[in-house]
Amino acid sequence: MTPEYIIEICVAIDIAILGIAYPIIVDKISNIGDKYNSQYIPVLFDSEFPQKSLSITINKNNYRISFFKFIMYFTISSLIFMIFKIPPLFGWDNWFVNDSAKFLVLALSLLFTVSFFIWLDKVVLFNGKSTSLLTHIIKKYELLKGSPEASQYHLKAINELTFYAIEKQDEHLQETLLDFYYKVFAKIRKNHDKNKPLVYPIDLYFLVNKLNVEIVNTDNKKLKAIEHRAVSGVWLLGEDFEEINISDDTYNWLWRNIYIFCDNPRFVKMFWSNSNQYFTYNLKMIHADYEKGSIANEAAIAVRQQERNSFLELHYALGGLMLYRNRYDVLKYIFEYSQSQPPQYVLLPQSMTEIFNWFEHFRNDFKNTKLPIDIKYSFPELDNLGSRSQVNHWICKYLVVLFMRQYTLRQYYTFQNFTALPVLPNEVVELNNWLDTVSYFENILRKIISNDVLLNELELYNIAQEKSIEFLLFVDRLKSAINKNIADKKISTELSDEKIASFYINSANIIRKSFSKYNSVFTSKDINQEKNKVKIPISGGIVLMSKSSFVEDDIPSLNFDTFFAGQIASQNIERLIPKSFSVSKTKRYLLNKDNFLLGIDRIINGAKDIVIVGVEVRHEVKQILDNSHFRDMTRYIPSTEYDVQDALFIVAESDLPVIEHKNIDESTITELNLVLIDKDLQVYSSVLDINKNENSHIKNRWNLEDAPDTNDLKVQLAIVFSSVIYWGDEREVVQVNIASEYREQGIENNVNDIESMKSVNKDIAN
């Protein structure tokens, strides 16, 4: 059997495909995606067989060629075997081997033709009906497993077809898209770890956000179902009853969507309606499960309450945005919306406690540790640094309107009381915050009461006229209740042992460090203390300080545990010790920086065991001394006494003073309830709450007015010690001051008038 006309037929078919059909189809391929304004549909087409690329490596260079082109090149190359007559190998001689070149051309031409028609079908699919293309891409997406990148491209392409459907109002795509997205979101929510907040793939966030943009800017009349799911938040919040924690990312994208459609009342109402249903069924409160006298599910209750608060925060911000945009029709819808009878307004406050808690939350920026409210919920035209704080103001203003609305609510149950005073916080710090909150609240309330336009639009004008005095009386009663609670808390609150201990430790350290600065100028020799005429006493002190500094959960004063000891160290120790040198001097000279070294030489005149005490010496003088032969005998001490600064005291080491730290009387220790905080220095201290009955005698000594409702209660701080500096009667202390153009110190002495110390003369005589 001899095959005939194979080459002629195959060549004709190949020429027809290459010369006529191929150029036309290539032109069609270049336009794939243009119809849908898509960047990803062409990518999907390139992944379809036979358009899919084949990777070939030649000489370490990688080349990519589509399967269709590869088959086409291979088919054309097979004609080479018809040009050259090659005898059969290995002596084979039969009709099949002899005509194998023709069979090869036939097989490749058939493969080429089949591939061409498959390729043609794919081109028609990607350039044809949108419904067919969408169905095809969805099927491919559902079959993809283990290829995140391919899945992502298919999802992006489906999203682009969704945008196309909205733009062209192609209602034929709606049902398929709704079914697809329902499965995608449901699968993500079903497979998600319920212990973690749910973060969707970024493409789904972009889908919903861009759909909101398209819907707002399109007269959408046919695709209402897609519109509802995109605008109302159904897709992001879920169409199921899965109790999944909403992530910060989802809240962020929800607010971005609200930002887009905030000026469209119908869309805002749609969002509010869905949120009511979600809050009612997906975020319902968890009731306490008591087990052996304790709550077994306490952690779950706390987590759920945090979830509810985050959800409510978003919707209070939405109310503030509507008030800012003057969308009074939306606000009236919000005020009246309920899905039950008698009505329950689940996204609105049920009591004054909720109103003032939320008002404090939005007013006080320090409560928002994650992200400031004005950044988290940005308002249109309020995004620059100078106006951002207005975001908080408008949300607070909305809460004041809700306060007035409370007076319009009808009581259905006996336990309902919409206008009762709020439950106040327990901590003094929070109570003080509430005082600031109520003052700010009152300021906004007065402005709203006088805003007739706003009240008329919200149908609150009549209630404002009838209850305006009652509104302000409510605020006054709340202020009084807060002040009373603060006073009661401060009076009854016990002092913090931890803060008292901190005061004792820091006080002891400061006093000890202050005395240690003068260790080099005291001698340890025994002297007859009773006969010494120069005795300089140094003692501690007693002072009143705000009680709030020494209790927990209150605002402490700055450096409450170091300020008093620092003051005693500065005003007593570091002032009186240097002053004792000035008081004990036996001779004084005034020299200048150029001749004081010569003067010191004449005073010492070669005497041994001489000490030069530099008191608060300025840097220039200190440099001169350190570079002189007096360096080793000079000792520097600080001074807070202005009159004893930049002075040098020349004294024999045997004439240096002695300091004694005396014991404190037992009666004083008992009276002031003192605690020993430093044994070596005999320093005692105490912190007494003078507001207690047992300490009333101490309070009376301070002549304080008896005002138990005051917010500034006091405690008595005591740092008690009794130290005495003794100077010998036979001492010789020569004071040398360094003249300065900035201080008047008298007339300078002539160096020739300076006399040597008496101790020097005695040494010479001996």
- The pLDDT, as a whole number, for residue 360 is 94
Give the residue among 757, 727, 734 at the shortest CA–CA distance from 525.
727
Q: Do the domain assignments include residue 266?
A: no
Determine phi and psi for 93, rounding to 5 degrees: -150, 90
Tokens of 668: 């004083």
Please report the pLDDT score of residue 117 as a whole number: 75
Do residues 654 and 695 share a domain? Answer: yes
Task: Give the pLDDT score at 69.
Answer: 67
Mark which of 206, 241, 261 sits at the end of a domain.
Answer: 261
The pLDDT, as a whole number, for residue 394 is 96
Same domain, 598 and 541: yes
In a domain, 280, yes or no: yes
Q: Are strands 733-738 and 587-591 parallel, antiparallel or unpaired?
A: parallel
Give yes or no: residues 134 and 124 share one domain: no
| E runs forming strands in 511-654 | 534-546, 587-591, 610-615, 634-637, 647-652
The answer to whether residue 442 sits within a structural domain is yes
Where are the alpha helices (H) located in 586-678, listed in sequence order? 596-604, 619-626, 666-672
- Judge if 124 and 146 occupy the same domain: no
513 shares its domain with 398? no
Question: Do both 334 and 454 map to the same domain?
Answer: yes
d(CA 488, CA 481): 10
* CA distances from residue 560 to 504, 547, 564, 692 in whole angstroms, order as listed: 11, 10, 8, 21
Same-domain pairing of 514 and 477: no
Tell me what pLDDT residue 41 has. 84
Minimal CA–CA distance to 126: which of 238, 219, 205, 51? 51
The number of folded domains in the chain is 4
Co-location of 479 and 517 in the same domain: no
Cα(540)–Cα(723) distance, rounded to whole angstroms? 9
What gap in Å lies between CA 188 and CA 185, rounded to an integer?
5
Tell whether 629 is covered by a domain: yes
Residues with Cβ < 8 Å from 414, sequence gap 6 or more? none
In this structure, the answer to whether residues 716 and 595 fall within a common structural domain is yes
Q: Is residue 707 part of a domain?
A: yes
Say what the pTM is. Answer: 0.74
Q: Which of 206, 232, 261 is the last residue of a domain?
A: 261
Let me know the angle formed at the C-alpha of 350 by 344 and 351, rounded to the nearest 5 degrees. Answer: 160
Q: Residue 1 falls within a domain, yes or no?
A: no
Residue of 325, 363, 323, 360 lying closest to 460 (CA atoms): 323
SS3 per residue for 74-114? HHHHCCHHHHCCCCCHHHCCCHHHHCHHHHHHHHHHHHHHH
- Do 333 and 393 lie in one domain? The reply is yes
- Per-residue pLDDT, 512: 96
3-class SS string, 181-205: HHHHHHHHHHHCCCCCCECCCHHHH
Give me the residues of the chain with pLDDT under 70, please: 1-31, 51, 53-71, 73-106, 112, 146, 368-369, 384-386, 526-532, 705-711, 759-766
Q: Are residues 113 and 140 in the same domain?
A: no
The domain boundary residue, chosen from 216, 232, 261: 261
The range of the structural domain enclosing residue 138 comes to 130-261
pLDDT at 426: 86
181 and 138: one domain?
A: yes
Q: Is 31 a domain residue?
A: yes
Q: Report if residue 462 sits inside a domain.
A: yes
Distance separating alpha carbons of residues 689 and 711, to the nearest angstrom: 15
